[in-house]
Amino acid sequence: MSISIPDLTRVRARHPEAIAEAAARRVRRPLIGDSGRLMIVAADHPARGALGVGGRRLAMADRADLLERLCVALSRPGVDGVLATADILEDLLLLGALDDKVVMGSMNRGGLAGAAFEMDDRFTGHRAEDLVRLRFDAGKLLLRIDYDDPGSLATLEATARAVDDMAARRLPLFVEPFISRRIDGTVRNDLSAEAVTRSIAIASGLGGTSAHTWLKLPVTEDPDDMAEVLSASTLPAVLLGGEVGDDQQAAYERWRKTLGLPTVRGLVVGRSLLYPAEGDVATAVDTAVSLL
């Protein structure tokens, strides 16, 4: 699909109501299809100022290129949907790319990458009421917890209220928890088995009910630890793709080892599929789908 930024901008300027109209006529589907698995492509990184892919610091800043990659990914068999912020999802609505797809809105993007306030991750994206109004299917939030940063407490409290708001509307909420810390001024996520286990325990207990809560989890440093780690909760989980690496095959193998565990229901992968180190988008996505 060839993406015309001038055409999208023209519609936004002259007919902003077209977004709501496209949302109203979008063909919806259940969260979980016949396979019982989920394959979601993630593209919510730009709203945190995280535009880099590998050695390219502004790779995701080219919106036409990003939309083309997303449209290719969404067209591949076995891809269930997309996770993104309002601007990207609305572009995809206008392009007609979201029929029969799970649409997941990204809720907190206030913890800008590299900012002094990065751990005070405010809810600056979709609210529960926005997801209902647009007839979207789920929400996602990022919960990074730094025991040395008071900003984490505000994020914890806001996360609990988001869990309540989504549950009141019977909307699934995918919580992505990490134990994090600053190293030389940079926020780093701890992927040790103990840290991921602790993050699962904390995230699972937030809010007045966990009935509609899912977990979005990294694979630990040693994938063999994941069976014990995931025993910390009965909540359904999806695996996140993580950073783009040079060894894509090693990433596939880590996912494959974990996808067979009882609580794991699928993958939510972004840059490593949209900007693969090897091959093109279609090939990378098809390989990931085959792991399911």
Instruction: Note the pLDDT tens digit of each residue in 6-16.
Output: 999 999 999 99
61-65 contacts: CB < 8 A, separation 24 or more? 63/3, 63/5, 63/91, 64/3, 64/4, 64/5, 65/3
- Angle of helix 86-94 relative to helix 17-25, nearest 10 degrees, comes to 70
What are the pLDDT digits (tens) for 144-157? 999 998 889 999 99
Residue 4 lies in a domain: no
User: How high is the pLDDT of residue 2?
Assistant: 73
Single pTM value for the model: 0.95
Quote the CA–CA distance of 2 and 271 in Å, as a whole number: 20
Domain assignment present for residue 12? The answer is no
Answer whether residue 95 shows pLDDT above 90.
yes
CA pair distance 276, 161, nearest whole angstrom: 36
Give a yes or no: residue 31 inside a domain: yes
DSSP codes, 58-80: TGGG-HHHHHHHHHHHHHSTT--
Strand ranges (DSSP E) for the chain? 38-42, 81-84, 102-106, 138-145, 173-183, 186-189, 213-217, 237-240, 264-269
Within a domain: residue 32? yes
Q: Quote the CA–CA distance of 146 and 149 in Å, as a whole number.
A: 5
How many distinct structural domains can be found in the chain? 1
Domain that holds residue 85: 18-290
| The two three-digit tokens of residue 220, written as one number | 């630990």
Residue 214 belongs to a domain with what CATH number? 3.20.20.70
Asked if residue 267 is part of any domain, the answer here is: yes
Tell me what pLDDT residue 199 has. Answer: 98
Say if 34 falls within a structural domain: yes
Q: Is 160 exposed, middle or buried (0-12, 13-18, 19+ CB in 10 A)?
A: middle
Mean pLDDT within 254-274 = 93
Residue 251 lies in a domain: yes
Mean pLDDT for the stretch of residues 252-279: 91
- 112-143 in b/e form (b: 16+ CB < 10 A) is beeeeebbbbebbbbbbeebeebebbbbbbbb
Q: Residue 243 — very low, low, confident or very high, per pLDDT cuts 50/70/90? A: low
Inside any domain, residue 11 = no
